Structures are given as C-alpha cells and as structure tokens.
C-alpha cells in the first residue's frame, strides 16, 4: 500500500475516533487493503476490508470513514446473528440496510456503493429481512446450506462485540443501534463482570515519589508519579475434543477486551489435552490466535509443570475446560480461575466461572 493510501486511511480512522468514538473504536480493529482487481467496490474477507482502488480514489475522508464504519458494524454482528436466518446472504443484505440507516441518523455521509433505502428507516434487521424474503419469494434461487462462522470469524466478531458492550455499559452507544437485533435491547450477559472482578486488581497504576510528577514541579509542588507494572497472565485451553468453541471464542474476546484496560502485560497461551501442543507468548495489543488440535484425554498437570519448570512469573491463570481431567496435587503459587460450562465437577483449587450458552455466568 502506497503512502497516499495509508495517509487517507489514517485520516478516515482519525475522523471516526474524534467525531464518532464508537465507530472509531470498531474501525481501529479493521485492516484495510486497497485492491486493483476487486469485482465490487468493497468486500470483507478474512477479517480484512478490501476496497477497489478506483472506487477508493473517488472517496473523500468522510465518505471513506463511512465505508469503514459501515463494514465494521455489519460484520461485528452478522457472524453472530446470521444463524437466525435461513438465507444468510439475505441476512447480510438486511443488516447492511439497517446499518446504513443507523449511520445516516448519526450524521454520516454515505457514498455511492453503500446500500440504503429510506423505506427501511427505523426498522429492525428482522423486519427488513422479512420484507426482503417476501419480495423475493418468487425468485428462483439456490439457497446454500447455512454455514457456521469459522473460529477466526467468531473471534473477530466477538472482539468488536466486546467494544459494543463497553460503550453500552458507559451509555455511549450511537442512536438506533438497537435496530440491529433484539440482543441489543437487553443485556443477558454478566460474564464480563466476573472476568472484570478477576482482573480489576491489575488495572490500577502504582505511584512513586521518585521520580516525582513533573506537572506541578515548576511551582514547587511534589506529587507522586504513576507507573505501570508489567503483569504476566496465563491462558490455558483444554483441547481434548469436548471443548465448546462458541463459549471459548466468547471467553477469549471478553478477556482481550478487558486486558486492553491494563497498561502493560504479556500473555502466555497454552493449548493442552494430555500434553501441551502449543505455547505462545503475546504482548499487549496482539490478538490471541490459535488452532484447536487435540482430542485425547485431559491432563491439567503439563501446563502447571511447564510454568514452574520455566520459572514463568504468572500473575493469574485462566484455564478453559470442562474440568474432566487429572489435576496437580499441589496448589500453585498464583491465582487460578477455571472457566467452564459444567457445575458437576469441582477443581481442587482456584475459583470457577460457570458459563452457559446464554452467556450468563456465576462464580463459586
């Protein structure tokens, strides 16, 4: 991508962050690629926004910002909600119309190429979908078998959904966002609150008098300056085959969203069934990526043994599992939180967050 394109994209994303913070936060997670041979003006593939170069050249800053915000919002919800529709392609189209209406009502300038029809103003996605389905009922078409989102699609969409929940909690969501789906009209999930409580002690900065805060030094006033300790968090995923990928992706995205509130950290990510199949170290801001491979029995000991043998200074370990496995005989020196969908088994140490498919949770 040349400097001109990079500069234009940066200006558009900056415009969104300043003028429309929610859409700016969503758009910050979207990678943009300018494409010379795209068959349409833009498309969203593999969590990247592809824009046809000739189309891109005719967009001003606000129009480009509209395209980025539109696609970010459409794809932040569609991966989760398309299972509600028999025709998933039509569901995407209905979502796009509703998002266009939301952007218009929030003062966006929609360029040519973004689908918008005034007749859908104020409607929910479900209503638009029903109208489109009825209008096209007589059209011959081959409706493909509904496809489940891939793991990476879910992780990406969950990351954007976590941003939405953050703004929702702060009462800063844009107007009419509830049009997208009924789930925006209620909040069934308290899972993030339990994770927040587990991580809250590490979100505070410490203070020191040496060096002092320079803000008021000129007037002879010495105040302590803040500094942030670097924490190391462990995340272990049981890959024994009984893992629930839907709950896993929700857990990972919520965890990433909350970790963004911590100034400095690293993550030690383990994939393990009866042995460790993968260990990766991530720094702040890096997305947790993994390929679930396993299927054997479950043994929790290898992760705890690896941490001790390699002297990893783990602050807290989150272990996602159904708890059907072999536990260490000794309690580790760090906090352990088990994230699980079962209440029939109890770990010998640590605390539990129980998570169900309504994304409601409770702790032991």
How far apart CA 119 and CA 94 sit, in angstroms, is 12
Distance separating alpha carbons of residues 63 and 55, to the nearest angstrom: 11
* pTM (global) more than 0.85: no
Nearest 5°: the CA angle 111, 112, 117 is: 95
Residue in 47, 7, 180 with CA at minimum distance from that of residue 105: 180
Contacts of 305 (CB under 8 A, 6+ apart): 328
Closest CA to 356 of 266, 247, 258: 247
- C-alpha closest to that of 298 among 335, 334, 338: 338
Specify the pairing of strand 48-52 against strand 42-45. Answer: antiparallel
| Residue in the structure block whose two tokens are 């415009």 | 15
Rounded to an integer, what distance in angstroms lies between the CA atom of residue 179 and that of residue 185? 9
Q: Give the domains, in start order, of the chain with CATH numbers.
A: 3-142 (no CATH), 193-363 (3.40.50.410)
Tell me the C-alpha distance between 193 and 210, whole Å. Answer: 35
Structure tokens belonging to residue 28 = 């910050």
Count of residues for the chain?
A: 364
Q: Which residue has the tokens 């996602």?
A: 320
Please report where in the chains the tokens 């606000």 appear, as a residue: 62
What pLDDT was estimated at residue 216? 44
Tell me, what's the pLDDT at 144?
A: 55
Cα 301 to Cα 348: distance, rounded to the nearest angstrom: 13
> What is the rounded radius of gyration, in angstroms, for the C-alpha atoms of the chain?
23
**Running along the chain, 364 residues long, what does each successive block of 10 average in pLDDT?**
87 93 89 90 86 94 95 76 62 90 92 93 82 76 58 71 77 72 45 69 52 48 52 90 73 72 84 92 83 78 97 94 93 93 87 68 48
Residue 140: what pLDDT? 55
């Amino acid at each position: 991508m040349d400097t001109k394109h990079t500069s234009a994209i940066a200006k558009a994303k900056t415009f969104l962050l300043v003028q429309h913070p929610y859409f700016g936060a969503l758009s910050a997670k979207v990678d943009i690629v300018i494409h010379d041979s795209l068959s349409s003006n833009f498309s969203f593939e593999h969590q990247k926004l592809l824009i046809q170069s000739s189309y891109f050249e005719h967009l001003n800053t606000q129009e480009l910002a509209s395209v980025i915000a539109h696609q970010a919002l459409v794809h932040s919800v569609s991966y989760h909600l398309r299972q509600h529709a028999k025709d998933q392609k039509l569901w995407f189209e209905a979502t796009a119309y509703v998002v266009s209406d939301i952007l218009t009502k929030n003062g966006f300038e929609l360029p040519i190429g973004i689908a918008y029809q005034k007749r859908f103003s104020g409607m929910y996605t479900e209503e638009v979908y029903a109208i489109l389905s009825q209008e096209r009922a007589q059209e011959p078409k081959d409706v493909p078998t509904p496809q489940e989102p891939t793991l990476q699609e879910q992780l990406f969409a969950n990351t954007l959904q976590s941003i939405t929940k953050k703004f929702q909690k702060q009462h800063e969501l844009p107007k009419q966002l509830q049009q997208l789906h009924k789930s925006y009209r209620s909040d069934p999930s308290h899972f993030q609150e339990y994770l927040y409580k587990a991580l809250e002690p590490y979100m505070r900065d410490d203070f020191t008098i040496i060096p002092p805060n320079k803000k008021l030094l000129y007037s002879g006033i010495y105040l302590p300056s803040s500094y942030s300790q670097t924490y190391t968090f462990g995340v272990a995923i049981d890959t024994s085959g009984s893992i629930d990928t839907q709950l896993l992706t929700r857990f990972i995205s919520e965890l990433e969203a909350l970790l963004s509130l911590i100034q400095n950290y690293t993550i030690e990510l383990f994939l393990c069934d009866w042995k460790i199949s993968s260990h990766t170290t991530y720094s702040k801001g890096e997305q947790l990526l993994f390929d679930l491979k396993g299927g054997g029995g479950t043994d929790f000991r290898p992760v705890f043994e690896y941490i001790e043998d390699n002297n990893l200074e783990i602050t807290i370990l989150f272990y996602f599992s159904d708890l059907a496995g072999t536990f260490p005989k000794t309690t580790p020196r760090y906090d352990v939180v088990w994230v699980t969908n079962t209440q029939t088994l109890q770990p010998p140490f640590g605390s539990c967050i129980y998570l169900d498919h309504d994304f409601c949770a409770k702790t032991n």
